[in-house]
């Protein structure tokens, strides 16, 4: 019988060097993942400032922000949903439904104009969440059903979409068109909600649970995270924010326009992913989502500046960005794992 000796482990010095290198790579990759969209946004804005004289005005900046307010709210909710590893396709429909409901309810006062869309869209979000969390149906299918259902509901209450309710309440109308420090009220409202969202996500146990559920559902439940409750809540939030986005848009337009919101869920998903949130869940930031929304908004604005360019090019550019970001994300995640 022959005996062979055990080979020794690596020397600690090499291990320590490995660890330092891994930590450095991890820091750099993490920063690129978090701040990539912001960096691209800054570059695009700088180029725009240099090339388009009209882009440079304060008014234009305010216009971009006002236009970005509803998409920002929807993308905010979507960020929560995607970090849990889910998806919410119903938000475009909830947005238009919220707008129609707000316009109709405005005849009963400004409070009703907000509460009705919030209640209805929140309830649909709750239904989404309960189905996803408790029956373990795929979020894609559940929210696709809600997309169809909510749009159907909107058409039912607006005579096939032909009946456009006008906003009857002056205070509500003022909210959509008035401004504070020359920036629209809705921008301030959205900014406040975004800040609250950031604190919740980064500093509350609910926020931590969202990351844990998306990062590894099995591990999260073994560690005692209320997985199902967390899932229900993110879809409720997403529904509420979509309804609110519809309401503030109705206030701005002065009516419940019935042709809006088609494909808006996809824009929101695109903005969230461009902002560095992993579509597979577990990682992402609201700061990234802000950069993603603004980036799409600025590109849209620039296309409008050029004037004679077909606005469909905006979608071509957004699509290209998205593909680029997803490829970069995949690469970065792998880079982080290997080390």
Indicate whether 210 belongs to the interface with other proteins (CB under 8 A). no
Cα–Cα distance, 126 to 235 (Å, whole number): 6
**CB neighbours (10 Å) of residue 313?**
12
Indicate whether 163 belongs to the interface with other proteins (CB under 8 A). no
| DSSP code at position 308 | S
- Pick the closer one to other proteins by CB: 197 or 239: 197
CA distances to 177, 248, 253, 279, 298 from 181, in Å: 13, 19, 21, 37, 21
- Pick the closer one to other proteins by CB: 163 or 280: 280
Cβ of residue 15: shortest distance to other proteins, in angstroms?
8
Cα–Cα distance, 236 to 91 (Å, whole number): 11
Rule CB under 8 A: choose which of 39, 219, 279, 324 binds other proteins: 219
**Contact call for residues 291 and 38 (beta carbons, < 8 A):** yes
HEC letters along 128-186: HHHHHHHCCCCHHHHHHHHHHHHHHHHHHHCCCCCCCCECCCHHHHHHHHCEECCEEHH
Cβ of residue 301: shortest distance to other proteins, in angstroms?
34
What are the residues whose beta carbons fall under 8 Å from the beta carbon of 230, sequence distance 6 or more?
A: 84, 206, 209, 210, 213
Considering only residues 19 through 38, tell me which ones interact with other proteins, judged by CB under 8 A.
19, 22-23, 26, 30
Indicate whether 228 belongs to the interface with other proteins (CB under 8 A). no
Cβ of residue 74: shortest distance to other proteins, in angstroms?
24
Cβ of residue 134: shortest distance to other proteins, in angstroms?
15
**Contact call for residues 296 and 309 (beta carbons, < 8 A):** no
Indicate whether 337 belongs to the interface with other proteins (CB under 8 A). yes
Q: Is 255 helix (H, G, I), strand (E, B) or coil?
A: strand
Indicate whether 204 belongs to the interface with other proteins (CB under 8 A). yes
Considering only residues 121 through 150, tell me which ones interact with other proteins, judged by CB under 8 A.
none
Cβ of residue 11: shortest distance to other proteins, in angstroms?
11
- Pick the closer one to other proteins by CB: 155 or 228: 228
> Angle, nearest 10°, between helix axes 286-306 and 312-338?
150
Indicate whether 64 belongs to the interface with other proteins (CB under 8 A). no
Cβ of residue 94: shortest distance to other proteins, in angstroms?
29
**Cα-trace Rg, the chain:** 23
Six-digit token pair at 137? 């149906």
Indicate whether 336 belongs to the interface with other proteins (CB under 8 A). yes
- Pick the closer one to other proteins by CB: 277 or 315: 277
Indicate whether 192 belongs to the interface with other proteins (CB under 8 A). no
- Please give the residue ranges that form the binding site for other proteins (CB under 8 A): 1-9, 12, 19, 22-23, 26, 30, 199, 203-205, 208, 211-212, 214-216, 218-225, 278, 282-283, 336-337, 339
């Amino acid at each position: 019988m022959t005996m062979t000796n055990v080979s020794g482990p690596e020397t600690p010095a090499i291990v320590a060097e490995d660890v330092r290198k891994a930590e450095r790579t991890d820091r750099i990759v993490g920063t690129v993942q978090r701040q990539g969209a912001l960096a691209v946004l800054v570059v695009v804005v700088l180029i725009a400032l240099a090339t388009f004289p009209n882009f440079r005005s304060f008014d234009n900046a305010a216009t971009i922000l006002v236009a970005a307010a509803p998409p920002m709210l929807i993308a905010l909710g979507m960020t929560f949903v995607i970090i849990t590893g889910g998806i919410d396709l119903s938000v475009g429909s909830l947005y238009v439904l919220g707008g129609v409901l707000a316009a109709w309810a405005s005849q009963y006062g400004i409070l009703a104009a907000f509460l009705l869309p919030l209640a209805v869209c929140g309830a649909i979000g709750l239904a989404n969440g309960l189905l996803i969390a408790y029956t373990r149906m795929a979020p894609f299918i559940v929210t696709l059903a809600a997309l169809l259902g909510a749009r159907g509901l909107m058409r039912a209450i607006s005579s096939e979409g032909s009946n456009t309710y006008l906003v009857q309440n002056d205070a509500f109308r003022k909210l959509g068109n008035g401004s504070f420090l020359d920036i629209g009220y809705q921008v301030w409202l959205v900014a406040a909600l975004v800040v609250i969202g950031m604190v919740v996500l980064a500093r509350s146990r609910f926020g931590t649970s969202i990351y844990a559920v998306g990062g590894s559902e099995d591990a999260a439940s073994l560690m005692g995270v209320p997985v199902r409750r967390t899932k229900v809540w993110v879809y409720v939030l997403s529904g509420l924010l979509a309804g609110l986005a519809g309401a503030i848009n109705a206030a701005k337009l002065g009516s419940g326009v019935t042709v809006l919101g088609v494909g808006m869920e996809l824009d929101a998903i695109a903005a969230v992913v461009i902002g560095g949130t992993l579509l597979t869940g577990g990682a992402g930031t609201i700061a990234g989502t802000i950069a993603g929304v603004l980036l799409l908004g600025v590109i849209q604005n620039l296309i409008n500046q050029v004037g004679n360019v077909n606005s469909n090019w905006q979608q071509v550019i957004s699509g290209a960005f998205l593909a680029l970001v997803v490829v970069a994300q995949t690469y970065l995640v792998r880079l982080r794992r290997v080390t």
